[in-house]
Structure 1
Amino acid sequence: MGEKHIILPRLVPSKLSHRQQLCGHRSVSEISGVVDETLGKRPLDGQNDILRYRVFTSTWNVGGMTPSSDLDLEDWMDSTANSYDIYVLGFQEIVPLNARNVLGPRNSCISTKWNSLIGEALNKRRRRGAVLHQEITNSSATERSAQEEHFRCIMNKQMVGIFMSVWVRSNLRPYIHHLNVSCVGSGIMGYLGNKGSVSIRFVLHETSFCFVCCHLASGGKQGDVLLRNFDAADILVRTRFPGGATQELPKKILDHDQVVLLGDLNYRISLEEAETRLLVEDKNWSILLENDQLLIEFSTGRHFDGWQEGLITFSPTYKYHPNSDQYYWCFDGALGKKKRAPAWCDRILWRGKGLKQIQYDTCNYSQVVLLGDLNYRISLEEAETRLLVEDKNWSILLENDQLLIEFSTGRHFDGWQEGLITFSPTYKYHPNSDQYYWCFDGALGKKKRAPAWCDRILWRGKGLKQIQYDTCNYRLSDHRPVRAVFHAECVIRGDADCACGCIALSSSSE
């Protein structure tokens, strides 16, 4: 029998919210330490087939900020443009790490709210599509199809501020078994849950997966990297899962076939803060990455042996001012006294044969998704820029736009294209407002932090291939979420038909 290549239907994701109490509502039950010996068992004979699934993983330190009920997570989870088979979402600091939350009883209101928002985002598009299709066809088959494309939370777990939620396409659920969770606290006194990990494992068909959401020791002082290394090693040692009653199961993290480690690993850049700032302003990622503590640990081989990380091509994810695209050092004293002229700093550029831009605009929401702060400004005096903006004289402003000038000279960005700009300058607004900064007086904090790639996703395992590694620009906290997408190969024994609605793209036989 020849090789079969199979692709399964894809999955869907969602967005975020602000401040509203949902403590009385629990939409998803929490399962802890349950081993299911009955799911996914079926007699299989013959050769092994390889099923390929798309796995979306992301980590986000939300800085203790409570999501609003209208927060839409679709952009973060890439659910409108793409659809995946499995979603693994890890959070840190979903509650403030104060003594009450660390030492007191667990507050599940916030984690329930996050999980509800995730579910709404994952299933919203499917519901819309199913209703539309049913109106057209009025077919019971449509209802079955919609149910197959529905997403279910198979496990979610909170330990103080660490929270992880795993969602799968409903028709995959019968093939998932031995679902377990293990928590390790490594915070205060080495055991409290303000730092540590939540690990979730399961077996899909015959392949074991383990996802580890971490929040390691913080700090930028010399020697703090050793604490992070110790936390990581301690999590690997102390995390334990139960064995199976009828089959041998992996008990340690590294015993699983495929492992993804994600979270706020807190590794910093081993340079002075002033030098780090200059390099970030120059977008000199190569020098910064040469001094990235985690990459140094990789290169020395002392820790993380066998782990891999995708190529980092995005700006440091930490430390942003909440509800802003500015790093902390940009805010000195009173904001009202420090005025900035608005400019088209936020841009989307593209190039490539056969690529055609069909939309380029900005949206009028208090939370705006920005796809790239290129920081090009308008080469005019601030007072003149303000007058032109108030008059909506875009043509004069665009004639003095620094990026368009670079395009026209051909010195840089050769071969790149940009759509016609027909909207107002996207920078610099007061947070959660349609007003530019010159309209406001007030003060923000004086606290400064050097940026770093604190939020990372690591992976290991045969048959696991990373196909995406990036960040997206939600402004809820001082961190930016990091995303990774994987192709995961799962072994399934025999020639049994797949009940997941597979489509055979190609097959051959001798």
Structure 2
Amino acid sequence: METVSPLKPAEPRDRKLSIHVVTWNVASAAPPLDLDHLLQLDKQDPNLDMYVIGLQEMSCGIMSLLSDTAFEDPWSSFFMDVLSPLSFVKGNKGGVNICLKLYGYYVSIINCHLPPHLANNDQRLEHFDWILEMQNFEGPDIPNILDHDLIVWFGDMNFRIEDFGLHFVREAVKSQCYSDLWEKDQLSIAKRCDTLLREFQEGPLLFPPTYKFDKNSNNYDTSEKKRKPAWTDRILWRLKRQPHTDTCTPRRPAPHLSLSLRSYISHMMYTISDHKPVTGTFDLELKPLVSVPLISLMPEGLWTMENAMLINYSLTPDFPSSPWDWIGLYKVGLRHINDYVSYVWVRDNQISFNDGLNQVYINISDIPETEDQFLLCYYSNSLRSVVGISNPFKIQPQAFLEEDPLGEVQPQI
């Protein structure tokens, strides 16, 4: 049996991740035929590491609810049809608040749909504060949202334009004099007054108001209500501030984590809804707080005649292992964590462990005979997430194995 000596961890290098955030109130419409522009897939090299997609007003009729219980909803299915061939995987979280841990940093992602109508601004602000102050995550040592290193908040926030009449707003939009409208944008006004909201940043509103349009057109509302155009669909972010004892000195973002906005635009070409989608593309730069992954999976060279059933993996000393942890075998291009070809419970199938190196086996009958590429993923029950992913590999032709009556594994040529 091979042994692995622990290596001295190298000084962690700065990392840069590109994140593409999408918010869209789809007004119960079905997905359009093409979303390449929305996802930047029509670019030569989009250079994106993560998609964060938040939708509002997805169809929620009784038939839709019954269907979604048994099947994936059509919007999720459509997005994954496009993104899974590019090696993106949809997580298994529900609701509108997701906590991620990236290289030791806590990131909170919030998708919201705040109360509508011009007169309900106070109610919108109350909901905003309530979401931030009252939400807590289950799990070991996960801080409150406001203590996360980065918060990305987006959605149909429903903030409107005050004071100006319909004609003035439409003429300002037509002539692209957006700066005339910024001073009366309810969110911009609130950011000047609300201490908590003031900590959130937003890119410049250099695109037309995204609400309200006649469906299947680029015309603003021509119904009897003739609602004023407004920037209801927004993307905000907040970096955690470091405390300073000197109250006269402004607080500064943590020096090891920075977020820069690459683009903040709307997409007028999509007409299925009375809202236009908005995207923000960010570059997240950070110095990793952890130098090694919690779990390292090593499939290289394992799928041979001698050790076809073995999976080697190592784990950090402080990893919170559980009897319900499992390793899944997936084809490259998986859409969801439940798309495994086979899986093993790590405790039930463990055959050896030494200095952090562990071995488990997968029964030979569960390994498919195919030329596809595969991945191994380690799922942590304690952390409720995937904590280790192997590099892609091919399963080589191998001998068949079977157990003899004494329980010993014997090769069969």
Indicate whether the TM-score tops 0.5.
yes
Question: Aligned match of 1:294 in 182, 187, 196?
Answer: 187
The answer to whether 1:477 aligns with 2:273 is yes
The answer to whether 1:153 aligns with 2:90 is yes
Q: Deviations over 1:423-449 (max 9, x none)?
A: xxxxxxxxxxxxxxxxxxxxxx54421
C-alpha separation between the residues in 2 aligned to 1:318 and 1:48?
Answer: 45
Counterpart amino acid of residue 121 in structure 1: V
1:508 counterpart residue number:
none
The answer to whether 1:233 aligns with 2:119 is no
Instruction: Report the Cα offset of residue 66 of structure 1.
Output: 2.2
Instruction: Report the Cα offset of residue 255 of structure 1.
Output: 1.4
Question: Aligned match of 1:208 in 97, 106, 119?
Answer: 106
The answer to whether 1:312 aligns with 2:205 is yes
2:73 counterpart residue number:
112
Question: Aligned match of 1:219 in 108, 117, 129?
Answer: 117
Contact 2:192–2:198 (CA under 8 A) maintained in structure 1: no
Counterpart amino acid of residue 262 in structure 2: I
Q: Deviations over 1:440-487 (max 9, x none)?
A: xxxxx5442111000000001242222111111211101001100111
Contact 2:56–2:113 (CA under 8 A) maintained in structure 1: yes
Q: Cα–Cα, structure 1 residues 91 and 108, in superposed 2: closer, same or farther, change >3 Å?
A: farther
Q: Secondary structure at the match of 2:78?
A: helix
Q: Cα–Cα, structure 1 residues 500 and 280, in superposed 2: closer, same or farther, change >3 Å?
A: farther
C-alpha separation between the residues in 2 aligned to 1:478 and 1:108?
Answer: 27
1:460 counterpart residue number:
238
Of Structure 1 and Structure 2, which has the larger fraction of its residues in strand? Answer: 2
Contact 1:206–1:490 (CA under 8 A) maintained in structure 2: no
- Structure-to-structure mapping, 1:237-248, within 5 angstroms: 237-244=133-140, 248=141
The answer to whether 1:259 aligns with 2:151 is yes
1:85 counterpart residue number:
49
Instruction: Report the Cα offset of residue 65 of structure 1.
Output: 1.2
Q: Deviations over 1:337-387 (max 9, x none)?
A: xxxxxxxxxxxxxxxxxxxxxxxxxxxxxxxxxxxxxxxxxxxxxxxxxxx
2:227 counterpart residue number:
449
Q: Cα–Cα, structure 1 residues 106 and 216, in superposed 2: closer, same or farther, change >3 Å?
A: farther
C-alpha separation between the residues in 2 aligned to 1:494 and 1:299?
Answer: 37
- Structure-to-structure mapping, 1:59-78, within 5 angstroms: 59-67=23-31, 71-78=33-40
2:160 counterpart residue number:
268
Instruction: Report the Cα offset of residue 116 of structure 1.
Output: 1.3
Q: Secondary structure at the match of 2:173?
A: helix
Q: Cα–Cα, structure 1 residues 110 and 65, in superposed 2: closer, same or farther, change >3 Å?
A: farther
C-alpha separation between the residues in 1 aligned to 2:205 and 2:8?
Answer: 42
Counterpart amino acid of residue 450 in structure 1: K
1:366 counterpart residue number:
none
- Structure-to-structure mapping, 1:476-495, within 5 angstroms: 476-493=272-289
C-alpha separation between the residues in 1 aligned to 2:161 and 2:182?
Answer: 8
Two-structure CA RMSD over aligned residues (Å): 2.9
Counterpart amino acid of residue 263 in structure 1: G
- Structure-to-structure mapping, 1:112-151, within 5 angstroms: 112-124=73-85, 126=86, 150-151=87-88
Q: Deviations over 1:300-355 (max 9, x none)?
A: 24440311001111000000111101101xx3xxxxxxxxxxxxxxxxxxxxxxxx
Instruction: Report the Cα offset of residue 54 of structure 1.
Output: 0.5
Aligned length: 271
Unaligned runs of 5+ in 2: 1-5, 240-256, 297-388, 392-413
Question: TM-score, structure 1 length as denominator?
Answer: 0.49
Instruction: Report the Cα offset of residue 77 of structure 1.
Output: 0.7
Unaligned runs of 5+ in 1: 1-41, 127-149, 158-182, 184-197, 332-444, 502-510
C-alpha separation between the residues in 2 aligned to 1:43 and 1:231?
Answer: 49
Identity %: 31
Of Structure 1 and Structure 2, which has the larger fraction of its residues in helix? Answer: 1
Instruction: Report the Cα offset of residue 280 of structure 1.
Output: 2.2
Contact 1:62–1:479 (CA under 8 A) maintained in structure 2: yes
Counterpart amino acid of residue 81 in structure 2: E
Question: TM-score, structure 2 length as denominator?
Answer: 0.60
Q: Deviations over 1:377-409 (max 9, x none)?
A: xxxxxxxxxxxxxxxxxxxxxxxxxxxxxxxxx
- Structure-to-structure mapping, 1:381-392, within 5 angstroms: none
- Structure-to-structure mapping, 1:2-17, within 5 angstroms: none
Q: Deviations over 1:251-286 (max 9, x none)?
A: x22211111000000000002333322322332201
Contact 2:104–2:290 (CA under 8 A) maintained in structure 1: no
